[in-house]
Amino acid sequence: MKRRKEIDDRKKMHSRKTRRKLLGVLLLIVLLGTAGYVFKDWFADEKKPVEVADGIEDQNLEEENGEEEMEPKEVEVEEFVESHEEKPLDREKSVPDMIDLTTLKVGTNHSVGASAYAYSTEMVRNWIWGGVSYEGEKIAFLTFDDGPVKKSEAVLEVLKRRGVPATFFIPGYVLAEHPDEQVLHRYIEEGHAIAVHSYSHVYDTLYPGKLADKEKIVEEFIQTRDLMRKSLGDEFDTRVFRFPGGSMSWKGIDEARSALAEIGVYDMDWNAISGDGEPKSRRPEGPQAMAEHVMFTLSEHWMQDIAVVLMHDTKDITAEYLDQVIDQFESAGYTFGILE
């Protein structure tokens, strides 16, 4: 009995030791796990990045995702050859193309640069005669009828010297007879505008019985414009017209004006005049008197902030008084524009 008891006591002692060992092992595992969790960020900071060859990382990702391996693309690389040869700089190729402001603006009657002071003929007419209010700066439109002739060169020289633009109303027959075929190019290059003043300029043809013939007026406009295109090219277009003798002198003008508007053309009269084309009985005497007549006739019109001045570049005297006309408008605070 005694022996049996000793054996049982040993078994209990062994069992308690075994349990203590198991508890110790479990405690160690818990401690290690806790330490790993606490120090994981510290260990992560201590890790050094591993360089991976190009394509390996993507390949591993594809394999992990179960995707098929993509074949690498062949890239053609140009061989670099070092050269010590000095090559001169080609300035024409290195500098961007500059816009020539003196060239014709496509689809208009003036140059690219003249766009800055070109005004719609329809709008100007509405400001002066259509009752449309105007509150902008004062503008003077110098207009010349019946050229080009040899005397026109003196007018062009004054305008060029003063840096002032103008609009030239040209009859087709005069242009056809003018010896200088480059004259239209000069108008464009020097910042002026080109307009049509019929082809024949014959009153009996255009206004039989003093009644405007709308078909004939439109026909002569197109005839003159097409003649201008022979010199300036099909990219030229003018939509500005002046009735020979002025629209106020004839009957049936409204019908003719409507016929012109159907092809996008607008006519322009004047509200100031120098008198250089008037009969001798009504013509101001001398250059100074003509220049003063411009401002006098403008003062009689209800619209004075917009001035459309009628002059003729076919007269010798025009170039003589033109400087004074420009001085008067500049002193009065006007800028100069052209009609398009």
Whether 73 is in a domain gets the answer: no
Which CATH number do you get for residue 118? 3.20.20.370
Domain co-membership, 58 together with 206: no
Domains in the chain, number: 2
pLDDT value, residue 66: 47
Whether 315 is in a domain gets the answer: yes
Domain co-membership, 17 together with 147: no
Statement: residue 245 has pLDDT above 80: yes
Domain co-membership, 59 together with 195: no
pLDDT value, residue 18: 53
Helix axes of 214-232 and 253-261: crossing angle, nearest 10 degrees? 40
Pick from 64, 85, 101: which residue ends a domain? 64
Largest CA distance in the chain: 170
* Average of per-residue pLDDT values in the chain: 84
DSSP string, 299-311: HTSS--SEEEEEE
pLDDT digits (tens, 9 = 90+) for 269-317: 999 999 999 999 999 999 999 999 999 999 999 999 999 999 999 999 9
Whether 18 is in a domain gets the answer: yes
Domain coverage including residue 31: 2-64
Q: Which two tokens stand for residue 252?
A: 């049936």
For residues 125-150, give the mean pLDDT.
96
Distance in angstroms between the alpha carbons of the first and the last residue of the chain: 137
DSSP-based three-state secondary structure for 121: helix
Domain co-membership, 167 together with 42: no
Domain co-membership, 238 together with 146: yes
Domain co-membership, 24 together with 125: no
Domain co-membership, 33 together with 160: no
- Token look-up 């308690």 returns 16
Whether 108 is in a domain gets the answer: no
Q: Please report which confidence band the pLDDT of residue 98 belongs to, taking 50, 70 and 90 as the band edges.
A: confident
Q: Please report which confidence band the pLDDT of residue 48 belongs to, taking 50, 70 and 90 as the band edges.
A: very low
Whether 88 is in a domain gets the answer: no
Pick from 64, 84, 101: which residue ends a domain? 64
CA distance 156 to 143: 12
As beta bridge partners, residue 240 has 266
pLDDT digits (tens, 9 = 90+) for 106-115: 999 999 999 9
Domain co-membership, 122 together with 256: yes
CA atoms within 13 A on the CB side of 250: 26
Q: Which two tokens stand for residue 18?
A: 């075994």
Domain co-membership, 295 together with 214: yes
- Report the percentage of the chain scoring pLDDT > 70: 71
